[in-house]
Amino acid sequence: MAVRHYHHHYHFSYLTSKKRHFSSVLIVIAVITLIILTVLHVLSPQQGINLNQISWEMVVFATFNTLFRLLISYFLSLVLSIPIALLITKSERTERFLLPIADIIQSVPVLAFFPVVVVFFIKFNAQESAVIFILFMAMLWNLVFSLIGGLKTVPRDITDAATIFHVKGFRKLRYITIPAVFPYIITGSLLAWAQGWSLLIVAEALHSYIPGGTAANDPLGLGSLLVNSFYNGKNAVFLAALIVMIVVIALLNFFVWQKLLHVAERFKFD
Amino acid sequence: MIELALKDVSKVYKQEKVTALADVSLEINQGEFFCLVGPSGCGKSTILRIIAGLEKPSSGTVQSPAEVSMVFQSGALLPWMNVEENVSFVCKAKGLSSFKAEEQTTRYLRMVDLEGFRYHYPRELSGGQRQRVGIARALAVEPKVLLLDEPFSALDPLTTDELHTYLLKIWKETGKTILMVSHLLEEAVLLSDRIGIMKKSEIEQIVSVELKRPRKDDSKEFLNTLEIVKNILEH
């Protein structure tokens, strides 16, 4: 009986211990990364960019700042995209009504909002939030539409089984819906991050939207470093920022997305 | 005692303007093995879905116990859970404690001889094994009525034979009421007490299969019964 009890505590879970370790390792890594990035972000010089005093340290800070902004925007859009996608696909009626709305919002270029957003956030002296908001808007719709696609491909037998076995509410979301769309979350995230990286160059170069703005108005980041160094003929800095950006994207691709795409295979229906 | 009763049940899909069921009445006894046969689109799956509560009838009354469970054609197992988790998950959803859920899981996995596969994932199993997990899962919530929606139609004949044996063994051991939908007449004659023959959204006739068990599909009586069912279906 004692053995059996141990067995029951050790093995008996919705996730096998191996899988549970995997997901907790992921969560721990994500949390630690976020803490480190936040600390570095706080430590980072906030006075804007002075192109005459660029050091390697600045490039490192710029990298962490940028990663911090991307990560925050990504988590915000991930957390929000799930309820939005669930709401849109809730029933045929909600879909008929909400999908076109989402489609319109999504098809308006994010940058069209940018001047208004910048003016709004600058008023509260919140450049950082302006950047994050733009990145968030750009990332959100990739995730939402990927999720909608995923939710619509869950086999009917699976949703029927959930109904028959009275699996509902949070239990259904946690153990059926989210795993079922997991591969779509990953592909949507890939697109979202690509979108984020490409918008960075505009989002961090806030000063062009501020009347009389200069590089000193820009929050330090890889994107603002790229724009300003190029504009001011600091080719070495430009090159350094570009190389760092490429290396970071490649590393993320290799160590995060490739691995997650591999994991996603296990969540696919035959 | 009557376990399941349908009275004048109709199902009309308004948007598609399709009548799936037209005034179907049916009574199934407790512990009975009942089979619905008929061509595809005759409404046999709709009856199952209405009893399972997946669809509401357009009119008529349905009397069925709350404890109804189902085995799906695809198995409908969750690919991200192993065999044990797939079964215990529904027990927990029913409100059982972890300990009780594990007991149930072990009991029914043993019944379908898959105890040794509890840590395997569905993709590591054969089609027949997956379907056996589906059966174990359906039984683990202790239903009064077990519904089977063409559970063996995606399997090869040898595996199907094997699963027929399992199903009959389980039926005998548990005494559940079983309602199965099939498009194979041989299967219906081999397994069931009575066969409901469906045509065009209606139950054309109900045939009692008065053969002793275990049935042999090459015996004269078997072939005679099969012929009777075939004739009703074709005319």
Alpha helices in chain A (DSSP H): 2-11, 17-43, 56-88, 92-107, 110-123, 127-152, 156-164, 169-172, 178-203, 222-231, 235-252, 258-264
Would you state the structure tokens that stand for residue A90, as one six-digit string? 């809730």
Cα distances from B146 to residues B35, B38, B51, B52, B143, in angstroms, run 12, 20, 10, 10, 6
A11-15, A244-248, B41-45, B113-117, range with the lowest pLDDT:
A11-15
Give the β-pairing of B2-13 and B59-63.
antiparallel
CB of A118 within 8 A of CB of B37?
no
Mean of the per-residue pLDDT values of chain B: 94
| A57 or B53, which is more confident | B53
Distance in Å, alpha carbon of A98 to nearest chain B alpha carbon: 21
Rounded CA separation B191/B34 (Å): 9
> Considering only CB atoms, which chain A residues are within 8 Å of B70?
160-161, 164
pLDDT at B211 exceeding the cut of 90: yes
pLDDT at A108 exceeding the cut of 50: yes
Mean of the per-residue pLDDT values of chain A: 84
Q: Does B88 touch chain A (CB under 8 A)?
A: yes
Q: Using 50, 70 and 90 to split pLDDT, how confident is the model at A12?
A: very low
Domains and CATH numbers, chain B: 2-67+144-234 (3.40.50.300), 77-142 (no CATH)
Side-chain half-sphere exposure of B3, counting CA atoms within 13 A:
21
Confidence at residue A10, expressed as pLDDT on a 0 to 100 scale: 41
Q: Which residues does residue B11 pair with via DSSP β-bridges, in sequence order? A: B21
CB of B36 within 8 A of CB of B198?
yes
Interface list for chain A against chain B, based on CB atoms closer than 8 Å: 8, 11-16, 155, 157-158, 160-161, 163-167, 171, 175-176, 179, 182, 266-270
Q: Taking residues B156-160, what's their average pLDDT?
A: 94
Confidence at residue A169, expressed as pLDDT on a 0 to 100 scale: 93
Q: Taking residues A209-218, what's their average pLDDT?
A: 77
Q: Using 50, 70 and 90 to split pLDDT, how confident is the model at B192?
A: very high
pLDDT at A5 exceeding the cut of 70: no
Contacts of B228 (CB under 8 A, 6+ apart): B207
Cα distances from B85 to residues A181, A263, B28, B50, B90, in angstroms, run 19, 19, 33, 28, 9
Confidence at residue A66, expressed as pLDDT on a 0 to 100 scale: 94
Distance in Å, alpha carbon of A5 to nearest chain B alpha carbon: 9
* φ and ψ at residue B15, rounded to 5 degrees: -65, -45
What are the CB-based long-range contacts (under 8 Å, 24+) for B149-152? B149/B45, B149/B48, B149/B70, B149/B71, B149/B72, B149/B73, B149/B181, B150/B45, B150/B73, B150/B181, B150/B182, B150/B183, B151/B71, B151/B72, B151/B73, B151/B180, B152/B182, B152/B184, B152/B187
Tell me the pLDDT tens digit for each residue of B214-234. 899 899 999 999 999 999 998
Rounded CA separation B192/B73 (Å): 18
Q: Does B225 touch chain A (CB under 8 A)?
A: no
B215 DSSP assignment: P
Rounded CA separation A160/A167 (Å): 10
Q: Taking residues A11-37, what's their average pLDDT?
A: 68
Q: Taking residues A28-35, what's their average pLDDT?
A: 82
pLDDT at A114 exceeding the cut of 90: no
Domains and CATH numbers, chain A: 57-267 (1.10.3720.10)
Neighbours of B134 (CB within 10 A): 26
Interchain proximity A161–B68, CB inside 8 Å: no
∠ CA A136-A140-A142 to the nearest 5 degrees?
130
Neighbours of A154 (CB within 10 A): 16
Interface test with B, best of A6, A156, A157, A173 (most B CBs within 10 A): A157
Q: What percent of chain B has pLDDT over 70?
A: 100
| B69, B81, B123 member nearest A164 (Cβ) | B69
pLDDT at B21 exceeding the cut of 60: yes
CB of B141 within 8 A of CB of B106?
no
pLDDT at A89 exceeding the cut of 80: yes
A43-47, B26-30, B62-66, range with the lowest pLDDT:
A43-47
pLDDT at B38 exceeding the cut of 90: yes
CB of B91 within 8 A of CB of B100?
yes
Interface test with A, best of B64, B74, B80, B144 (most A CBs within 10 A): B80
Interface test with B, best of A10, A12, A164 (most B CBs within 10 A): A164
Rounded CA separation A9/A94 (Å): 43
CB of A206 within 8 A of CB of A219?
yes
pLDDT at A13 exceeding the cut of 80: no
| B92 or A232, which is more confident | B92
pLDDT at A211 exceeding the cut of 80: no
